[in-house]
Amino acid sequence: MSTKAIGRQLLPVDGIEISASPGNGLDLAQDGVSLATVGAASAVAQKRQSARRPPYPKQRRDHPCACRGRLRNQGLRSRSRPPPVAGITIRRKIMHAPTATPLVRSAPPRSRITNPGALLALHPELRIDQDIYNINVTANFGATLTASETWQQIATHDGAQKPVHLYFHLPLCSYVCRFCNYVKRQAPTGAKLDDALDHWTGLLIEESQRYLRGAPWLSAARVESLFLGGGTASLLRPRHLARIMRHVQDNYSVIPGCEATLEGNPDNFLADEVSDAIEIGFNRFSVGLQSLDSKVNAFAGRGHDRQMSLKSIEKLSMGGRPFNADLMFGLPYHTADSVRDDVSLLVSMGVPTITIYCLRNADRHKMGIGNQAAWNNDKIRQRLHDQNLFPTLETTYAMREAMVDVLLDANYEPSPCGWWSAPGSYPDGNIPQVSRNKWQNYDTMIGFGPGSYGWLAGIRPDPIQTRNIADISAHARHVESQSTAPLASGRRLTGAEAVATALGFAFKSNQPISVQRFARIYGVNLLSDEPYAGVIEDLMAKGLLEPVNGSSEYLKPTLDGETLHEEIITTHIHGRIGGVVAAVCRR
């Protein structure tokens, strides 16, 4: 067996033994060996591990990011923890060392659990079914602010000379996917489409102008990343893209090398759209493939087939700029084999970043942040369930694991969680700048367009979340007839709520989490102050979080933590630290 295959074995976790029962129903087939239970898998794997594990490779210790993939780059899947650090004493649950930066003693070596069913069996609190799900990028807690109160916070924010991310949302699509619950509507056709694109380009620029007039700091903030999304932003013609880009460059302080992303569908990247956008100033792209199986896409209501998807990848590759290709798993007619084949083909084509998303049939309209998808409709959803078209949770996670196996074999790295990039795709940690701004650094983000959200954050201890009017017509009428920004509401986060939000974003970034940064901005010690310390220690004991290079100055999700990052953020970080487990959307 090659060393690469070792990571496919399921190893015991801190002496925890799992046996077969009607409750877990675990059945593994690893390396051609049929294993009836997780316990049996552990026993067999333990023997193979001791007999076949090669000596540890020499590891770099000179950078907080050095632990990422150090075993994987040697062809190993397992992620062993560093040895205990000397000088540590245990007080209650929190571990301290007599140094300026507390050190956390690592648990015994732990390997990645490659069977998702086993992972969920070990951590049943993280089992969240598709129809009971409420993951949200913004917190559902905090003191609610009115639109005018939110605007006052925006106008007086101390953001000059500080990083900012800009997001423009075009709420139009050539077709409306049956799973999509984002703010969008079907675009008109023919000459009316050009009129609609002219209209929305003007509305977005006018909304931006209102922020510039009412919040003078914004023109002096450092724009480090820009994202045009939707909807389908790539519906915009070159003249519309040029208008928006010229507006940004003329009115904002755009740093040299600012990452400017254009998002679209394969059917929008088949001719000269990529080269035209590059000439205008865009230097990164995002394409929503979702599947390379034409049957899967047709059932989901998407307007492109396999050949169009592959041609769009060729066009994007010819542009010579980084881009990500989105794939979903858990859609009707998906199988583990089909999603594995999709990823394998994209890897062979040299796609820099492959983003993998689970189907979550959440009604974002009920959450106040989106539209209702067709599959959110009770009757439609029930009919699909009756026809067994929605995969089970275990099958869905098996699909993810099939995709991840291919990505690990090709040395792709997840950063942020779910975004897998080939080595060297991006500088400084191999993470796109948009993700560094939004998630890792929690920098201020300003969103324009219906349903857009944002926040005033960065180094302030009381972040303000902002949310625009989500109704598309109402948003347009507001911009056309009133002089204020089309805000719907806001939230002020303080104390543990602010920490939970920032920590959730930091976990999602899958970059080293600086303990000192949380002490500096929020005045808390994640390793000794409650409720943070208990959650951190619990996640480490479960093998979902680990210290970087044996020192707790930086913490980082493990590969198991990356697998369940949404569930961890919802249950442990937002729920236990933020103090609120939002009411789930039951459908």
Q: Domains in the chain and their CATH numbers?
A: 1-67 (no CATH), 78-111+123-142+493-587 (no CATH), 160-437 (3.20.20.70)
Asked, as a colleague might, if the bond just before 82 is cis with ω within 30 of 0, I would say: no
Residue 26 has pLDDT above 80, yes or no: no
CA R_g for the chain: 24
- Cα angle vertex 416, ends 376, 468, to 5°? 50
- Sheet of strand 513-514, all strands in order from the earlier edge strand to the far edge: 513-514, 551-557, 545-548
Average predicted confidence (pLDDT) for the chain: 81
Is pLDDT of 462 > 60? yes
Residue keyed to tokens 């324009």: 448
Q: Which two tokens stand for residue 415?
A: 């950063």
Q: How confident is the model at residue 82 (pLDDT cuts 50, 70, 90)?
A: very low
Task: Sort strands 353-358 and 419-421 into parallel, antiparallel or unpaired.
Answer: antiparallel
Each residue of 237-286: pLDDT tens digit?
999 999 999 999 999 999 999 999 999 999 999 999 999 999 999 999 99
Question: Looking at the predicted structure, is the pLDDT value of residue 146 above 70?
Answer: yes
Q: Answer for the pair 203, 480: CB distance below 8 angstroms, yes or no.
A: yes
Euclidean distance between CA atoms 559 and 565, whole angstroms: 10
Stated as kind and residue range, the H or E segment containing 479 is helix 472-481
What is the mean pLDDT of the segment spanning 528-532?
A: 96
Give the model's pLDDT for residue 114. Answer: 57
As a whole number of angstroms, the distance between CA 464 and CA 491 comes to 6
Residue with tokens 């639109």, as numbered in its chain: 147
CB 38 within 8 A of CB 24: yes
Mode of pairing for the β-strands spanning 444-448 and 163-170: parallel
Q: Pull the structure tokens for residue 504.
A: 């959730």
CA distance 422 to 410: 8
For the segment 446-463, the average pLDDT, to the nearest whole number, is: 96
Q: Which residue, among 454, 445, 437, has the nearest Cα to 488 in the 3D structure? A: 454
- Between CA 221 and CA 387 the distance in angstroms is 53
Are the C-beta atoms of residues 75 and 4 closer than 8 Å to each other? yes
Single out the residue of 81, 96, 251 nearest to residue 164, CA to CA.
Answer: 251
Distance CA 41, CA 579 (A): 38
3-state SS, 511-545, equals CCEEHHHHHHHHCCCCCCCCCHHHHHHHHHHCCCE
